[in-house]
Structure 1
Amino acid sequence: MRTPAPLPPGAPGRFLVSEALANGVSAKRLRAADLATPHRGVRIATEPPAFFTGRDQDRRQAVAAAGWKYAPRLKDWQFFSHETALALLGAPLPEPPHEVGLHVSAHRPRREPRIAGVGGHRLQTRDPAWFVTRTGFRVEDAARAWRQAGTLWGLDDLIAAADFLVLPRTRLATIDELETEVELMGDTGDGRLTRALREVRVGAESAGETRSRLLVTRSGLPEPVLQYELFDAHGLFVARLDAAYPEYRLAFEYDGRHHADPQQFAKDADRWEAIRKTGWRLVRILSHHVRGGSPAAVSMVREALRECGWHG
């Protein structure tokens, strides 16, 4: 088998056929077996880089890889939007089997893409607000992308995504900005975004934390204080608690991790003991506690509250 002719020096891992031809690459070379064709007019010479690590890595990477392969086709006025933008920004994804699609938008009078496998959207005449992420993707403004996903995602998925966007460490949006976007551009037909905004809170650092909080508060239990800092009797910092009831010296936390690291487990065990020594009680909610028709998380928190003096 003959070795394919080299591409021009400095050729990127993905490129447009038209640009390659303009730089002297032959049409025959562009049909070689070592080049993939993810979309008409695009060639891929290498595998996409790893964009995400950690929780939900495979699903996020799939979205990022699809965007990376399509990116050479983006016109100057086009950008990734809707749920694609949320995924590329790192927001929690809906539970499987929902698969995040590839969405590309443009503002009128410009045209959206019309190509198989891509959801093209022609948005209202409006000043663009897209920006480039640290990983190099041109994405829609976070608040706008969240509103656009309103017809694609369920209520709790939208709340979890909004909780992520308004986290101080992400600084992608504020609750006021989300509310303003919905007021300006409209809600879904069922008012889903407005309903979601009523339950968005600053402080939930994972989808698991959001979902466990929603289960607890929707069952009629008190609203917890998020990210409560606990100090001992000497004023020394002990722990930051995901969701706390200071009046009852009770907290609950969602722990969806699988501890394969003995050192991490030992560190967590020391933390739990330090919390106990302050006189606080900690309810640990695991992933199976939030599943099913009658999730155990609700009864766990309710019983703990009553034992700590709550009479609601």
Structure 2
Amino acid sequence: MDPRHDQEQLLAKARALGQDQGGVVSCPQLYEAGVPRWLVARELRVGRWQRLGDQAVCVHNGPVVEEGHWWAAVLQGGPRAQLDGASALLAAGLQRFTVARVRVTVPRGARIRRNPRYDIRQSRRWQRDDVAPSGIPRTRPAVAAVRGALWARTDREATYLLTAAVQQGLVSPTALGAEILRIRRDRRRALLHAVVNDLLDGARSLGELDVVRELERRGLPRPEKQVLRRDHRGRYYLDLSWPHFRVVLEIDGIHHSWAENVVGDALRQNALSLQGDTVLRLPLLGYRLEPDQFFAQVRAALVAAGWSARAA
């Protein structure tokens, strides 16, 4: 048999191994499949393959896809390594979020093979029961979301990560709450409790009383709450309103981003605009992440309508 044909078969086998791993395989996987060490070394030497750490190779020389880096990081971490935090959420399908380095955790005492591409760390929170039941080794979404929030660079990023995981259907607020109860000590523990309480109370994620207190703290006039309005479709209540200035502030909990509410919210806002009102919206994330900007908009709307802080 032609030796070149044998080599092509072995290379095809290597590519097949990487098909479900983003084009990345471990050296032991290759050896167990019958791909000899000399062939692996040759493909790396001539540049047809590329090495990702000392435990994994990419069986092509093109750009490595995100899934490939996930596998390379897990393989680099060893047999008990798991994608964790935001990286595990990305592997579970989280959209519109990026990480600087893939995060992998291993249990306390495990050997760590350092690699500048990947963030591999021992963790006292590592538990075998936390791993997702299928796919690349990674922590379950509820575990990953809570840990990702604990490890986030800022409180803002932590809040966004928890909220995005719920909004995108990766985890329920109840599951997040159960995981947070496992956290005994952390500087962000109180923040996580507050955010998850918002998410659990989806029908009224932001209380009107909380917003009213914040408006008064910032020197803005006290609004009326739950003002009844009518249009041709029936009647509805406004969250907060300054009738004299024709300014309305609608408080959007997480439920307002759900598809079944989008049409009704839009129709109500359009009806108010047609009646001459200025309608502002204060979403959960806006209140948590950018309060100064949103309350500045409320102030600007009131000033434009004739309110003066001096006359208040």
Q: Is TM-score (shorter-chain normalized) higher than 0.5?
A: yes
Q: Do the aligned partners of 1:142 and 1:173 also contact (CA within 8 Å) in 2?
A: no
Gap change, CA 1:22 and 1:231, over 3 Å in 2: farther
Q: Percent identity?
A: 14
Match of 1:26 among 16, 33, 36: 36
**Residue 38 of structure 1: CA displacement?**
0.7
Cα distance per residue 1:85-125 (max 9 Å; x no partner): 2443427648xxxx53322224468x364332332224347
Q: How many positions carry a matched residue from both structures? A: 249
1:193 equivalenced with 2:189 (yes/no): yes
Partner of 1:40: 54
Q: Do the aligned partners of 1:245 and 1:251 also contact (CA within 8 Å) in 2?
A: yes
| Structure 1 stretches lacking a partner, 5+ long | 51-60, 238-243, 254-268
Partner of 1:55: none
Partner of 1:246: 239
Cα distance per residue 1:198-228 (max 9 Å; x no partner): 24533999xxxx9xxx9999665799x9xxx
1:276 equivalenced with 2:300 (yes/no): no
Alignment of 1:287-306 (within 5 A): 296-304=293-301
Partner of 2:131: 130
**Aligned mates of 1:112, 1:231 — CA distance in 2:** 67
**Aligned mates of 2:80, 2:28 — CA distance in 1:** 19
Q: Do the aligned partners of 2:75 and 2:81 also contact (CA within 8 Å) in 1?
A: no
Gap change, CA 1:158 and 1:165, over 3 Å in 2: same
Equivalent position amino acid for 1:276 in 2: S
Cα distance per residue 1:58-109 (max 9 Å; x no partner): xxx5xx5521333445655431113322443427648xxxx53322224468
**Residue 172 of structure 1: CA displacement?**
0.7
Match of 2:12 among 1, 4, 8: 8
| Structure 2 stretches lacking a partner, 5+ long | 242-247, 253-265
Which structure has the larger Rg?
2
Equivalent position amino acid for 2:147 in 1: Q
Equivalent position amino acid for 1:69 in 2: A
Cα distance per residue 1:4-50 (max 9 Å; x no partner): 95303434222122222333323332132110101213111245786
**Aligned mates of 1:231, 1:43 — CA distance in 2:** 66
1:104 equivalenced with 2:104 (yes/no): yes
Equivalent position amino acid for 1:39 in 2: G
Alignment of 1:137-148 (within 5 A): 137-148=136-147
Q: Do the aligned partners of 1:38 and 1:44 also contact (CA within 8 Å) in 2?
A: yes
Cα distance per residue 1:220-264 (max 9 Å; x no partner): 5799x9xxxx99532599xxxxxx9534244488xxxxxxxxxxx
TM-score w.r.t. the length of structure 2 is: 0.58
1:181 equivalenced with 2:188 (yes/no): no
TM-score w.r.t. the length of structure 1 is: 0.58
Partner of 2:153: 153
Q: Do the aligned partners of 1:215 and 1:298 also contact (CA within 8 Å) in 2?
A: no
Equivalent position amino acid for 2:24 in 1: R
Alignment of 1:36-115 (within 5 A): 36-46=50-60, 47=62, 61=66, 64-72=67-75, 77-89=80-92, 90=94, 93=97, 99-107=99-107, 111=110, 113-115=112-114
**Aligned mates of 1:195, 1:275 — CA distance in 2:** 35
**Aligned mates of 2:5, 2:272 — CA distance in 1:** 64
Partner of 2:258: none
Considering fraction of residues, name the structure with more helix: 2
Q: Do the aligned partners of 1:83 and 1:100 also contact (CA within 8 Å) in 2?
A: no
**Residue 138 of structure 1: CA displacement?**
2.8
**Aligned mates of 2:201, 2:96 — CA distance in 1:** 11
Partner of 2:162: 162
